[in-house]
């Protein structure tokens, strides 16, 4: 290998990743449809052609942004901790992992949660999100069948309420705020698995 | 009193309430900003002036729609069951009531949850929503102080996670679906207060 540094495409200071971050912030602020490549160029102090140097289309920007969220969530499911052991422990792992992905990739997950399926890219992302939800729902059912989760609530409702709680974090979580992500994951698991009530007699 | 029927304003079949329902559905589908009085008139097969007979402006339509959601939620807090008795029971009442309002006034609460504060009407609604959230947060703190709720989670986080779970119901609940509202309220209380886990030894 030669020692010549890898040539970066585009202007110094703006690699593909940096453009992606600015684009996702704009999509979340103004909506994907309302954010043109021209708007992005203005925000980045770049020409449109400089952006097209990195991305073939606005839809490719969206695709990479949604991948960032979905790859994170799917990575949690692929981990050995999600595949081996009692279902209740695997479910706890997945919930904790989802909170971790959500807080560490906040703008990307925010974008994912707003996708409504208007384009092929969006529909593909929605299908991957539904597959993730189904995998968690299957874990809930397994944990119920092994006797570690209560069986008086429909597993689909359980999954929806769990994701309602987890996904709502994007509405208020700020990385610079007082709550660190790990404590927040502990809190979610405590509420979801053990509930808020102090048992009578304690 | 004479027996003459009360004169309804507007065309037969469209009282203020019926227009409000169609308007809220349109606001939720297309967004408030994107829905003009002209769009509403087309959807209602009415002239714009027929709508202006009932509402002075689009903002008044929004105001009445948001009132529908907020009056419902505030009514839950005003009930004696929210004001008298152990805090844990009052909290349970309020959570159950919030689920009931959400399911019975689904499009109105959906609209409320999307309000971002661009106009005076929206900012007033947001302030009322925040006051409701603060009242619930105060109940969480009271229940914690009386020893009936666990004390190892910040009450503000607890309130946010509870509302995350409750509010997410608008994303998937359908009145014609298999879940009835009362069972759903039971499920929310079961998850939130007692948790999903079957205690060890059971």
Q: Does A91 have pLDDT greater than 60?
A: yes
DSSP string, B82-119: GTSS-HHHHHHHHHHHHHHHHHHTHHHHHHHHH----S
Return the ∠ at Cα A191 (arms to B192 and A168), rounded to 5°: 85
pLDDT of residue A116: 84
Number of Cα atoms under 13 Å in the Cβ half of residue B82: 19
DSSP string, A28-76: HHH-TTT--HHHHHHHHT--HHHHHTT-SSHHHHHHHHHHHHHHHHHHH
Q: Does A1 have pLDDT greater than 90?
A: no
The Cα–Cα gap between B104 and B190 comes to 21
Q: Tell if the CB–CB gap between B187 and A148 is shorter than 8 Å.
A: no
pLDDT of residue A10: 47
Q: Are A18 and A53 in contact (CB under 8 A)?
A: no
Backbone angles phi, psi at A9, to 5 degrees: -75, 155
Q: Does B6 have pLDDT greater than 50?
A: no
Q: How far is A80 from chain B (nearest CA, A)?
A: 22
Mean pLDDT over B83-92 rounds to 96
The Cα–Cα gap between B169 and A157 comes to 10
Per residue in B155-192, pLDDT (tens digit) is 999 999 999 999 999 999 998 888 899 999 999 999 99
Among the partner residues B158, B167, B169, nearest to A196 by beta-carbon distance: B158
Helix or strand or coil: residue A132? helix
pLDDT of residue A3: 45
Q: Tell if the CB–CB gap between A187 and B157 is shorter than 8 Å.
A: yes
CB atoms within 10 A of CB B25: 15
Q: Tell if the CB–CB gap between A193 and B197 is shorter than 8 Å.
A: yes
Per residue in A126-157, pLDDT (tens digit) is 999 999 999 999 999 999 999 999 999 999 99
Q: Does A6 have pLDDT greater than 70?
A: no
pLDDT of residue A177: 83
The Cα–Cα gap between B158 and B141 comes to 10
pLDDT of residue B118: 84
The Cα–Cα gap between B129 and B136 comes to 11
Does A147 touch chain B if contact means CB atoms closer than 8 Å?
A: yes
Q: Tell if the CB–CB gap between A166 and B163 is shorter than 8 Å.
A: no
Mean pLDDT over A63-85 rounds to 97
The Cα–Cα gap between B169 and B155 comes to 22
Per residue in B96-148, pLDDT (tens digit) is 999 999 999 999 999 999 988 889 999 999 999 999 999 999 999 999 999 99
pLDDT more than 70, % of chain B: 92
Tokens matching residue A16: 């593909």
The Cα–Cα gap between A21 and B40 comes to 38
pLDDT of residue A198: 82
pLDDT of residue B3: 45
Per DSSP, what are the bridge partners of residue A197?
B149
pLDDT of residue B10: 47
Q: Does A185 have pLDDT greater than 80?
A: yes
Position A120 confidence tier, pLDDT thresholds 50, 70, 90: very high
pLDDT more than 90, % of chain B: 76
Does A164 touch chain B if contact means CB atoms closer than 8 Å?
A: yes
The chain A residue lying nearest B161, using CA atoms, is A165
The Cα–Cα gap between B66 and B56 comes to 16
The domains located in chain B, with CATH, are: 9-55 (1.10.10.60), 59-194 (1.10.357.10)
Q: Which residue has the higher pLDDT, B66 or B12?
A: B66
Q: Does B66 have pLDDT greater than 90?
A: yes
The Cα–Cα gap between A47 and B136 comes to 50
Among the partner residues B88, B149, B167, nearest to A168 by beta-carbon distance: B167
Q: Are A166 and A184 in contact (CB under 8 A)?
A: no
Mean pLDDT of chain B: 90
Mean pLDDT of chain A: 90
Complex prediction ipTM = 0.86
């Amino acid at each position: 290998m030669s020692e010549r540094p890898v040539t970066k495409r585009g202007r110094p200071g703006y690699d593909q990743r940096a453009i992606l971050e600015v684009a996702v912030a704009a999509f979340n602020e103004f909506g994907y449809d309302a954010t043109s490549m021209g708007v992005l160029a203005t925000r980045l102090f770049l020409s449109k052609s400089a952006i097209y140097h990195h991305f073939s289309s606005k839809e490719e920007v969206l695709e990479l942004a949604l991948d960032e969220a979905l790859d994170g969530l799917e990575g949690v499911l692929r981990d050995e901790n999600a595949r081996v052991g009692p279902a209740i422990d695997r479910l706890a792992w997945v919930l904790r992992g989802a909170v971790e992905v959500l807080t560490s990739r906040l703008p990307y997950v925010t974008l994912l949660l707003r996708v409504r399926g208007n384009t092929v890219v969006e529909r593909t992302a929605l299908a991957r999100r539904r597959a993730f939800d189904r995998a968690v729902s299957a874990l809930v059912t397994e944990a119920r069948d092994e006797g570690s989760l209560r069986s008086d609530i429909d597993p689909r409702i359980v999954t929806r309420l769990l994701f309602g709680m987890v996904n709502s974090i994007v509405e208020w979580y700020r990385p610079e705020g007082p709550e660190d992500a790990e404590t927040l994951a502990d809190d979610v698991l405590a509420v979801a698995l053990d509930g808020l009530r102090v048992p009578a007699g304690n």
